[in-house]
A and B are shown apart, each in its own frame.
Chain A
Amino acid sequence: MVRTVSGQPGRIPGPESPASPAGPAGRHGPGRRDVPGARQRVAVFIRRRRLTPYALLLPSAIAIGLLLFWPTIQIAEFSLQNYGLPQVTGVAPTQWVGGANFSAILADPEFWLSLRISLIFAAVVVPLTLLTGTLVGLLLNRLGPKMAAFVSSAAMLAWATPAVSASVIFIWLSDPDGGVVDWALAKMPSWLGGGAHWAGFSWTNAPLPAYTLLTLLVVWQGFPFVAVSVLAGLKTIPAELHESARVDGGGAWRIFWRVTYPLLKPIFLVLLLLSIIWDFGVFTQAYLITGELGNRDEYNLGIYVYDRAFTMPPSYGIGSALALILTVILLIITIGYVRASVRQGAVQ
């Protein structure tokens, strides 16, 4: 709010414009004299041209340019080529094939199946994650500080658990021989859906059970982030607002929709878009739970991309075309995310 008088750090008088150009160190030996002089000339050049921020950004720009931008451009390029095993080994030349990869993909029922699986999965998992996370966030807000710290630490441990470990644990929990899930379901009374028929039930052999397991896994790992973000948002709402709403006779349900939700709407929008981006193409968990590669009727779009590119015989052209489709779908959602972030003032 209060602006300082000397707002520009570059204008401060100091050793940045020293009166003695080389300093005493420069006079010791004849050969050393040029080194600090040259370095200083570069420094002066950078400062005069106001290049300091660009110099500071340079390392990150190079890393992102080489390892994120360049591969994206290459994928676009490969998607229009017949890039496969003969081209890698040099038996046959790489040729431009126009849109042939894309028309092959659009004619492939496996592509449409994987797209449908990804869409349905995101449509189920994203609301479940947001609902669970919001409920836990509301709970954390009502707990005492110590209890809240304990519960949020426990939840964040699920978030920090590596995807590989989490997948392996869930596969073991639901294992037909010795898994605790089938045992518990078999013990449960039949009016809760339990019963002896659950003993030895295999969760990973068919698409629907496998994706049920995957849903539980992704919600388990995803809700803590939502809960902690919602909690951070709730802390910014003044307590008087809730108090006065309660005095006016609003129930918890009414207060949530009339007071809390409108105020947290920007946070929910960002969480919604992030969850869609993360869950639509989920790879590691889906890859392990559906039994690595091979069960083609259980592929989501992320696994289908990987399988088409790398499974022998590799087809980097088709794989790149699929990767481009996945990237474009995610970028469309990302534009919404960026706009929501900018509207919230994140890019100040």
Chain B
Amino acid sequence: MRLRSRAARRAGLNVLGVLVALVTLFPILWMVSTAFKPAREIYSLTPHLLPAHPTLGNFRSVIDGKVIGLPYWNFLKNSLFVTLSSVIASMVISLLAAIAVARFRFRLRTSYLIMLLIVQMLPQQAMVIALFLDFRSIGLLDNLAGLILVYTAFSIPVTIWMLRSFVAAVPREMEEAAAIDGAGPMRIFWRIMLPLVAPGLVATSVFAFIFAWNEFIFALTFLGTDTAKYTLPIYVTYFYGRGTVDWGSIMASSTLFTLPVLVFFLIVQRRMTNGLMAGAVKG
């Protein structure tokens, strides 16, 4: 009797879990499904979850660049360039800082950590005014390098905090043993610290990646007139902002912008846990 009620409760919880997952995934599924629908089905009076006659027409017109005059690859290239550059820069900078705050005791340490917490909260729509004027005077508007600088600076307060706990988790005894064996600080860094922090670097870089890939307000403000320089978020709103609303193209462009980051996130999420567990077993 008791066993059966427990099984029933478990089944009920699982149904609830599936329901939560489906409701949460529905908007994403609807975006992908709309992207594959021909116009007749998109504006049909009774919408269906899956396209009856799937078509690649929306994707073709987006990738060819019929509306905007430039192919999708141009904007993908811009977004990848900006995102990867800022992720690499912020990983290097924040790993150095994380080692400082996790491995050393010094006078300004606590103040620095608290400063990092505070600057995370500075509103971007406030900062963008001053940075727009600064970048205009030094010629960094309509320039992807300007975005790389901003994305790096805005992600490091978070990534230092995240990396700090990964660095602190590396057993100090291993470094000390290597030092006794005659390894210098650089060798200890490359041979011990870096391999052991690597899973943490991956986890942290996901956050830096998502921040830079998704960022809208700086890209909107800095890339005003030069369409060829647009990153993907601005590219998607370009379709949305043209008087005649073609939801097939908008959903296709939005799918091409969203799916890479979601797929990347899912892959890394699994690898992240595996890496962390492998590190724990080996350590």
Contact of B127 among A63, A71, A166, A338 (CB under 8 A): A71
Q: Judging by beta carbons under 8 Å apart, are A178 and B44 in contact?
A: yes
> What B residues does A170 contact at CB under 8 A?
27
Q: Are A169 and B30 in contact (CB under 8 A)?
A: yes
Determine if A192 is an interface residue (Cβ-Cβ < 8 Å).
no
Question: How many Å from the CB of B100 to the closest CB on chain A?
Answer: 4
Question: Once the chains are docked, how many angstroms separate the CA of A151 from the CA of B214?
Answer: 23
Q: Which of A14, A50, A139 has the most CB of B within 10 A?
A: A14
Most chain B CB within 10 A, of A52, A154, A164, A323, is at A164
**Of A29-37, A99-107, A326-334, the one touching chain B:** A326-334
| Shortest Cβ distance from residue A68 to the other chain B in the assembled complex, whole angstroms | 5
A172 at the binding interface (Cβ < 8 Å): yes
Whether B262 is near chain A, meaning CB under 8 Å from some CB there, is: yes
Q: What's the least CB distance linking A313 to chain B, in Å?
A: 15
Instruction: Indicate if the CB atoms of B20 and A169 lie closer than 8 Å.
Output: no
Chain B residues within 8 Å of A302, by CB: 123, 125
The docked-state distance in angstroms from the alpha carbon of A171 to that of B254 is 13
A-B contact count (CB 8 A): 280
Tell me the A84-110 residues at the B interface (CB within 8 Å).
88
A320 interface residue (CB < 8 Å to B):
yes
Are the C-beta atoms of A139 and B13 separated by less than 8 Å? yes
B178 to chain A, nearest CB (A): 9
Which residues of chain B in 166-192 are interfacial with respect to chain A, using CB atoms and an 8 Å cutoff? 172-173, 175-176, 179-180, 182-185
Q: Most B CB atoms within 10 A — which of A54, A78, A160? A: A160
A310 engages B118 (CB within 8 Å): no
Cβ of B123 and Cβ of A157 under 8 Å apart? no
Residues of A within 8 A of B27 (CB): 158, 161, 166, 169-170, 173, 220
A67 touches B154 (CB 8 A): yes
Interface flag for B277 (CB, 8 Å): no
From residue B263, how far is it (CB to closest CB) to chain A in Å? 10
Q: Is the CB of A326 within 8 A of B47?
A: no
Select from chain B the residue with minimum beta-carbon distance to A283. B125
Tell me the interface secondary structure of chain A in the complex.
Answer: helix
With both chains docked as a complex, state the minimum distance between the C-beta of B181 and any C-beta of chain A, in angstroms.
Answer: 8
Residues from chain B with Cβ under 8 Å of A9 in the complex: 103, 172, 175-176, 179
Segment of A123-131, A142-150, A260-268 engaged in the interface with chain B:
A142-150
Q: A15-B182, A169-B31 are in contact. Are A164 and B257 (CB under 8 A)?
A: yes
Majority-rule SS of B interface residues? helix
Question: A338 touching B114 by the CB < 8 A rule?
Answer: yes
Contacts of A148 in B (CB 8 A): 17
A57 to B101, CA, bound (A): 8
B97 contact from A60, A150, A164, A177, Cβ within 8 A? A60
Cβ of B131 under 8 Å from chain A: yes
A-B residue pairs in contact (CB < 8 Å), sample of 16: A56-B99, A59-B92, A63-B153, A67-B154, A68-B119, A68-B127, A72-B122, A136-B20, A157-B24, A157-B28, A165-B257, A172-B34, A283-B124, A283-B216, A306-B125, A327-B126
- Given A54-B100, A68-B153, 4 additional A-B pairs, CB 8 A: A4-B173, A54-B106, A162-B257, A162-B258
Contact of B123 among A180, A220, A320, A330 (CB under 8 A): A330
Which residues 306-346 of A have a CB within 8 angstroms of B?
306, 309-310, 316, 319-320, 323-324, 326-327, 330-331, 333-334, 337-338, 341-342
Residue numbers of A with Cβ under 8 A of B are 4, 6, 9, 12-16, 50, 52-54, 56-57, 59-61, 63-64, 66-72, 74-75, 78, 88, 136, 139-140, 142-144, 147-148, 150-151, 153-158, 160-166, 168-173, 175, 177-178, 180, 183, 220, 224, 277, 281, 283-284, 287-288, 292, 302-303, 305-306, 309-310, 316, 319-320, 323-324, 326-327, 330-331, 333-334, 337-338, 341-342, 347
A335 to B245, CA, bound (A): 44
Report the minimum CB–CB distance from A108 to chain B (whole Å).
18
